A and B are shown apart, each in its own frame.
Chain A
Amino acid sequence: MSDNDNTHFGYREVKTDEKAGLVAGVFDSVATRYDVMNDLMSAGIHRIWKRFTIELSGVRRGNRVLDIAGGTGDLAAKFAPMTGDEGEVVLADINANMLSVGRDRLMDRGVSGNLYYVQADAQYLPFPDDYFDCITIAFGLRNVTDKDLALRSMHRVLKPGGRLLVLEFSKPKNPLLSRAYDAYSFGVLPNIGRLVAGDSDSYQYLAESIRMHPDQDTLREMMENAGFLRCDYHNMTGGIVAVHRGFK
C-alpha cells in the first residue's frame, strides 16, 4: 500500500475505498468461467498446488476449517470429507457471484452437510475469536485491500495452535523462468481471457496484481507481524507460486 488513502489495483493507483469494488468487478466478470480459466492458464497445475496446500493443512476429523476467498470451492470440497460430520467447513468469499457459483458446483457434486457458505470480507471476519483449527486463503490475499488487517483478522479467529495457509502467486527464483513467466503473463494470459471468458482486462489485472504482490520473504514477515509463529513457506513450480504457513 502506498499510503493510507491510496492503494494499487494492478499497476494503477486507486483510492483505498475503491479497490474492493474494482476487484468485485473483475470476479463478477469471470465467475462463471473461473474454473475453466484456471485449468487453461495453469495447464491444470493449480490442482497440484492446492493438493499440496491440503497436505500441509493437517486437517483431521472434527476440525473447523475456514476457506477464505474460497471461490468455486476447490479446497472446501476436499476439506469437507476430511473433517467429517463432527467437523465444519466454512467457505467464505467477499464476492456473491463467486460464492453462488461455488455453492451450486459443490451441491451438484453432493458435497454438503458440514459445509457452510458465508459472504465475508477477509479484513473483518464475522466469526468468534479462537474458532477455527485451520484457515486457508488460496489466490485471494493479493486482491485484499489491506493485507495486514486481513492477516490480523485471520489470526484473531484462529484457535491457539491452529494454522494459516496462504497459497498465492509469488516471485520466481530463476531469472530465465521469471522472463518466460512475464512473457506468458502479459502476452498470452490476456488473450486466453479474451477468447475464453470474453474479458482480457480482468486477466491483465491478474498479471499486474501478481507482480504487485509481496514476495515470499515479505509475506512471511507480514504474517509474523500479524502475530503468527513458526512461519515458513514452500516454493512451487520454481517460485511462481508459494504456500506460506504460520501457526497461532
Chain B
Amino acid sequence: MNDIPNGSTLEMPALHTAGLAAAEAAANAALRLSPHSVESLRALQGQVLALECTKPAITLYLEADGEGQLNLRGVYDGPVTTRVRGTAADFAELARSDDPAATLINGGLVLEGSSTALTSMQRVFSELDIDWEAPLVDGLGDVAGHQLATMLRGAVDWSRQAAGSLRRQLQEFAQEEARLAPPPLALESFYGDVQQLRERSDRLGQRVENLRLRLERLRDR
C-alpha cells in the first residue's frame, strides 16, 4: 500500500521524511548565512527539480520558495521543471563539477526538461559563500566574534586557493608529465565518439530487428 505517484516507492516514509527535513534544515541554515545565494535561489522560485537516484533508489524534489528557502520533498505529483536520473556517483560528480553543463553532456546523468534550472541550482550551492561573522558576533560579542570570523575567512580562503592550486598541479602532472590521463579536449572528443558509436549501434540493432521481422513475415507467406 505504499505506491506513490511518479513511480517512486517509499518503504519507510517517516524515516525518509525525517532525513529530508534534516537535510532541508541544514541547507537553509547554510543559505541564511550566504545572502548572495538566497537572492540567486529566490530567482528560481516555482521551478521544481526531480532528482531520481537509481543506486541507492531515492527520489527527491527540490523547490525554491519566494523567501529564498529550499524545500525538499520525497513526494510531489505536480509538474516538474527538470528531471535528472542517475546513480549517486553521477550526482556527486555533478555537485563537484566546475562546469556542470559539460558534466551533464558527458556524464552518466539522464536529463528531461530544462537544464537551466539544474545548472542554476548547482551554481547556487557551489558558490555558497558563508558569512560566519554574524553568528559568531551574536555568540561571542563584537571583538572576539570579528577576530575569529576574520581568521576563519582567511583559513577558508587559503584552503580554497591551496586546494585549487594542488588540483591544477596534479592535473598538469597527470596529463602533461606522467601522461596518466588524457587532456579534457581529447576526453570530450572521445566521449563524443563513444556517443556516436552508441547511436550507430542502436540504429544497427534496430535495422537487424526490422530485417528479422521481414524475414519472418516472408517465411510465413
Please encode chain A, from 34 to 71, with 1 for each CB lying within 8 Å of some chain B CB and 0 for all others: 00000000000101110110011010100000000000
List the A side residues contacting B14 at CB < 8 Å: 45, 48-49, 52, 236-237, 241
Interface hit among B74-82, B162-170, B212-220: B74-82
Q: Does A234 contact B (CB under 8 A)?
A: yes
Q: Does A233 contact B (CB under 8 A)?
A: yes
Considering the complex, give the chain B residue whose CB is closest to the CB of A55.
B75
Q: Does B189 contact A (CB under 8 A)?
A: no
Please encode chain B, from 16 to 42, with 1 for each CB lying within 8 Å of some chain A CB and 0 for all others: 011001000000000000000000000
Q: Does A214 contact B (CB under 8 A)?
A: no
The contact of A58 among B18, B65, B77, by CB within 8 Å, is: B77
List the B side residues contacting A58 at CB < 8 Å: 76-78
Tell me whether A236 and B13 are in contact (CB under 8 A).
yes
Q: Does B92 contact A (CB under 8 A)?
A: no
List the B side residues contacting A51 at CB < 8 Å: 17, 21
Identify which of A45, A56, A60, A216 gathers the most chain B CB atoms within 10 Å of its CB: A56
Tell me whether A81 and B65 are in contact (CB under 8 A).
yes
Which residues of chain A in 198-248 are interfacial with respect to chain B, using CB atoms and an 8 Å cutoff? 216, 232-237, 241
Secondary structure of the A side of the interface?
helix
The contact of B74 among A47, A55, A232, A233, by CB within 8 Å, is: A55
Minimum CB–CB distance for A41 against chain B, Å: 16
List the A side residues contacting B76 at CB < 8 Å: 55, 58
A51 CA / B77 CA spacing, docked (Å): 15
Do A48 and B18 form a contact, CB below 8 Å, given A58-B77, A60-B78?
A: yes
Secondary structure of the B side of the interface?
loop
Query: Count of A residues near B, CB < 8 Å?
Result: 19
A248 CA / B76 CA spacing, docked (Å): 19
Which residues of chain B in 1-25 are interfacial with respect to chain A, using CB atoms and an 8 Å cutoff? 1-4, 10, 13-14, 17-18, 21
List the A side residues contacting B13 at CB < 8 Å: 52, 234-236
List the B side residues contacting A52 at CB < 8 Å: 13-14, 17, 74-75
Minimum CB–CB distance for B134 against chain A, Å: 22
Which residues of chain A in 76-100 are interfacial with respect to chain B, using CB atoms and an 8 Å cutoff? 81
Tell me whether A56 and B75 are in contact (CB under 8 A).
yes
Minimum CB–CB distance for A121 against chain B, Å: 30
Tell me whether A232 and B1 are in contact (CB under 8 A).
yes
Q: Does B85 contact A (CB under 8 A)?
A: no
Q: What are 7 A-B interface contacts by the 8 Å CB criterion? A: A45-B18, A58-B78, A81-B65, A234-B13, A235-B1, A235-B2, A236-B13
A49-B14, A55-B73, A234-B1 known; 18 new pairs, CB 8 Å cut-off, are: A45-B14, A48-B14, A48-B21, A52-B13, A52-B14, A52-B17, A55-B17, A55-B74, A55-B75, A55-B76, A56-B75, A81-B65, A216-B1, A233-B1, A234-B2, A234-B10, A235-B13, A236-B14
**Interface residues of A, Cβ cutoff 8 Å to B:** 45, 47-49, 51-52, 55-56, 58, 60, 81, 216, 232-237, 241
